[in-house]
Structure 1
Amino acid sequence: MAYVTTDDGVRLFVEETGTGFPILFVHEFAGDHRSWEPQLRRFSRQYRCVSYAARGYPPSGVPADASAYSQQRAVADAIAVLDGLGIERAHIVGLSMGGFCTLHLGLDHPERAASLVVAGVGYGAAPDKRAGFAAECEKVAEAYTETGARAVAEWYARGPSRVQFQNKDPRGWAEFHERLAEHDPLGARLTMLGVQRLRPSLYELTDRLAELRVPTLVLTGDEDDGCLEPALLLKRTIPTAGLRVLERTGHTANLEEPDSFNAALADFLAAVESGSWRARDPRATVGATMLRER
């Protein structure tokens, strides 16, 4: 356990275990550094695994200034963790809010990423969903102020893409729920408003995504409705992207289906490290089903 300090003076709590090539795990809004335990146990046998608590998530610092929270700042914090640990390049694995951070890290700092795992990404991304998603973010943020984290956790942990986890693994879901209830209300509120609500739409980034050359695995659950279409967008736009869909799975995929998630991650890392994960063959993108240009 250690802390690194960002360029604006926020201390980030970091845990690492194992030796070998580094993997940096970036957590979702409803999680924290503890959310990656099934992955740390599996991959620390071969890799140097790093997990950290984002700003706003104790034991990391909780800045009170709203301007300290943004998508750009989240990426800068991930880079600060790498720098603080002396890591030049790593596999970057993120879920949901952490998946957006992972994707933007690949866009802004491709030299720091050996690969990207972008899981559960897409809420609020579609143009016709932007306004509704922003309104939801504001309601969630208001609830943190008015009722506190424990009250929010009572309904947030039972959302449409979380009940799959609750139904399959009540014990694991209860642990997830309790950790969500422990979140700092101010940090959660400002993260929701500054990072979640204001992040750019994936549909506005297609030109940049088309230039991304870092090996990328897009992973989603088939019952995570808000992420299905954005996952297809990422697959079709990023030349080096592959898409893995976990059946009958919701948003909290790495905890809900840890074995399937770990197997997908292990297969992907093996392909990247062997050099067999390549960009998509341009002949596969001509738009026809059976015919091609001669």
Structure 2
Amino acid sequence: MPYAVTTDKVRLYFEEAGSGTPIIFLHEYAADHTNWEPQMRYFSRGHRCIAYSARGYTPSDVPPSADAYTYKHFYTDALAVLDHLSIAKAHLVGLSMGAYSSLQIGLNAPERALSMTLAGVGSGSSLENLEVFRAQCRANAEQYETIGSVEVAKVTREAPSRIPFLVKDPRGHADFYGALARHDATGSANTMRSFQGRRPSIYTMTEAIKKVATPALIICGDEDDACIEPSLFLKKHLPASGLSMFPKSGHVLNLEEPALFNETVERFIALVEANRWGPRDPRSLVA
């Protein structure tokens, strides 16, 4: 099995397909590398595509300590996969947790990013409710440790932002939560406790975000309430960003609407590669 090894000796399982300009896919909290299969099959027709499972998600390693699951570990892990494959820079396509990590690469290693697709980004960012969110993350971590992944999957499959997926595609929704039930409980608990429960809110990064020149596509479902305001915030402050709102859609955008997701991202990447996705023209701003 192919693995990349991080600086702290964690092995990350990855898969790749196709050839051309690289695209790396960064998955959300409830997913793993397999959830990018519709994108791997589509984009590998014209690009070199890489999907990997984050630390804590088998068949990648599952470090025992929550201290090994900070947001810094997660974004540098994506770079470790690129380094292993001798890829200097790539298009980053991230969903939720993966979108946050993609943004962190834009902030901290912009020379590695050809572009950033930030889908379902920013849940838990509200500064007013930040401590409540973090307390819920700690409770969720304890739930994984107490009842295990199978029972957690049963509890969370009807979370509000997941309902549009259930309504549109009950079979796909069932497959998704069947996969979640097989996740390693220790890895899920540690990711929830450390990455989810301790990461800085994007609202604390305003000045840094304003300096990110990387072309960015923000995608949000209009029924993913926790991500709408953060998506608007990023559109306002990321200089070279565009915002696409998917109608009647929740959080799992790449699986809920795979054709629309692929078409939208493909057009974005094509415009970036044609050097036609630049900063907003100041003439379009209202004085």
What TM-score, normalized to structure 2? 0.98
| 2:268 aligned partner | 268
- Which residues of 2 match residues 210-249 of structure 1 at below 5 A? 210-249=210-249
Is there any run of 5+ residues in structure 1 with no aligned partner, and where? 289-294
C-alpha RMSD over aligned residues: 0.8
- Which residues of 2 match residues 31-180 of structure 1 at below 5 A? 31-180=31-180
Letter of the 1:14 counterpart: F
Rounded to whole Å, the distance in 2 between the matches of 1:65 and 1:128 is 29
| 2:255 aligned partner | 255
Deviation track 1:186-216 (CA, whole Å, cap 9, x = no partner) reads 0000000110111111110010000000000
Rounded to whole Å, the distance in 1 between the matches of 2:172 and 2:105 is 30
Secondary structure of the residue aligned to 2:198 is coil
Deviation track 1:119-139 (CA, whole Å, cap 9, x = no partner) reads 101111121121121121112
Q: Deviation of residue 228 (structure 1)?
A: 0.2
Letter of the 1:148 counterpart: G
Q: Deviation of residue 155 (structure 1)?
A: 1.8
Rounded to whole Å, the distance in 2 between the matches of 1:272 and 1:31 is 27
Letter of the 1:50 counterpart: I
Rounded to whole Å, the distance in 2 between the matches of 1:132 and 1:65 is 23
Rounded to whole Å, the distance in 2 between the matches of 1:48 and 1:128 is 41
Q: Deviation of residue 114 (structure 1)?
A: 0.3
Secondary structure of the residue aligned to 1:94 is strand
Q: Deviation of residue 171 (structure 1)?
A: 1.0
Rounded to whole Å, the distance in 2 between the matches of 1:158 and 1:43 is 30
Q: Deviation of residue 237 (structure 1)?
A: 0.3
Q: Report percent identity of matched pairs.
A: 48
Letter of the 1:269 counterpart: I
Rounded to whole Å, the distance in 2 between the matches of 1:2 and 1:129 is 41
Rounded to whole Å, the distance in 2 between the matches of 1:137 and 1:164 is 23
Task: Assess if the C-alpha contact under 8 Å between 1:95 and 1:119 holds in 2.
Answer: yes
Aligned residues: 287
Rounded to whole Å, the distance in 1 between the matches of 2:237 and 2:217 is 13
| 1:283 aligned partner | 283
Letter of the 1:144 counterpart: Y
Secondary structure of the residue aligned to 1:193 is helix
Rounded to whole Å, the distance in 1 between the matches of 2:222 and 2:129 is 19
Rounded to whole Å, the distance in 2 between the matches of 1:164 and 1:55 is 28
| 1:3 aligned partner | 3
Task: Assess if the C-alpha contact under 8 Å between 1:123 and 1:133 holds in 2.
Answer: no
What TM-score, normalized to structure 1? 0.96
Task: Assess if the C-alpha contact under 8 Å between 1:216 and 1:242 holds in 2.
Answer: yes
Is there any run of 5+ residues in structure 2 with no aligned partner, and where? none
Q: Deviation of residue 52 (structure 1)?
A: 0.3
Deviation track 1:154-206 (CA, whole Å, cap 9, x = no partner) reads 12121000011011111111110111000000000000011011111111001
